[in-house]
Amino acid sequence: MRISELSERTGVPVPTIKYYLREGLLPEGDKRTPRLTEYDDRHVRRLGLLRVLRDVGDVPVEGLKRLVAAAETRGTVHDLFAVAADALAPTPPAPGPGRAETRAMADAIIAHAGWDRVREDSVDRDNLAATLEMVGSFDTHPRDPAEIAPYVAMADRLARHEIANLDDHKDRVGLLEEMIVGQVVFASVLTTLRRLAEEHHSHERFAEDQRD
């Protein structure tokens, strides 16, 4: 199919497709002649994936590039997932004062959760530390590990559930896609559900509460 058909089938404008091609997010089509390139279902699929990640997951184009590069990772599927996790994680902000402590706290949280398969140099160790650091400077929440425990437990269940539910018939890139889409989509869904649940549950405690 030509680029215009690819555009119609995916709803992505032609200029945007060209942009993604330039950025290397979309593989080149089959160049039959210098003036005619043939795109196929893999392009339709990839474009769909890119749009879900951008629209639902707010993954920046930079992150998509990292993800595309990560898909090339050799080794086990576990290795692949680890590299993809780093690609999907935001780049940690520069450390401020107190990062050493929060990094230690982050490591402690991970160790306490029993997540001993997490690489020492996982980007998310720093991301966790950075969040703790930023929140720490805002007095209200002293953030001790105990307060975070329920979230660790949730994350653990979530991850187990998602890993267990992956379709075993797929190839490595298929698994990667399913993992990524699940992570990104359900993050969004969970955030929304949580706000909804909070609205509901606040009724119990605060429906009559008129305090100043």
Partner DNA sequence: ACTCCTTGGATAGTTATACTGTCTTCGACG
Partner DNA sequence: CGTCGAAGACAGTATAACTATCCAAGGAGT
| Residues at the contact surface with DNA, assessed by CB under 7 A | 2-5, 13-16, 18-19, 22, 28-29, 31-37, 54, 60-62
Quote the distance between the C-alpha of residue 157 and its chain's center. 17
- From a second copy, DNA, none, interface partner of 37 (C-beta below 5 to 8 A by class): DNA
Cβ proximity of 118 and 110 under 8 Å? yes
Q: Is 21 in the site for a second copy (CB under 8 A)?
A: no
| Of residues 157-196, those binding a second copy (CB under 8 A) | 157-164, 166, 171-172, 175, 177-179, 181-183, 185-196
Q: Which residue has the tokens 């029993």?
A: 114
Under 8 Å CB-to-CB from 71, ≥6 apart: which residues? 80, 84, 173, 176
Q: Rounded to an integer, what distance in angstroms lies between the CA atom of residue 9 and that of residue 32?
A: 21
The 10 Å Cβ neighbour count of residue 77 is: 14
| Of residues 71-110, those binding a second copy (CB under 8 A) | 75-78, 81-82, 85, 88-89, 93, 109-110
- From DNA, a second copy, none, interface partner of 105 (C-beta below 5 to 8 A by class): none
Report in angstroms how near the CB of residue 31 gets to a second copy at its nearest.
Answer: 26
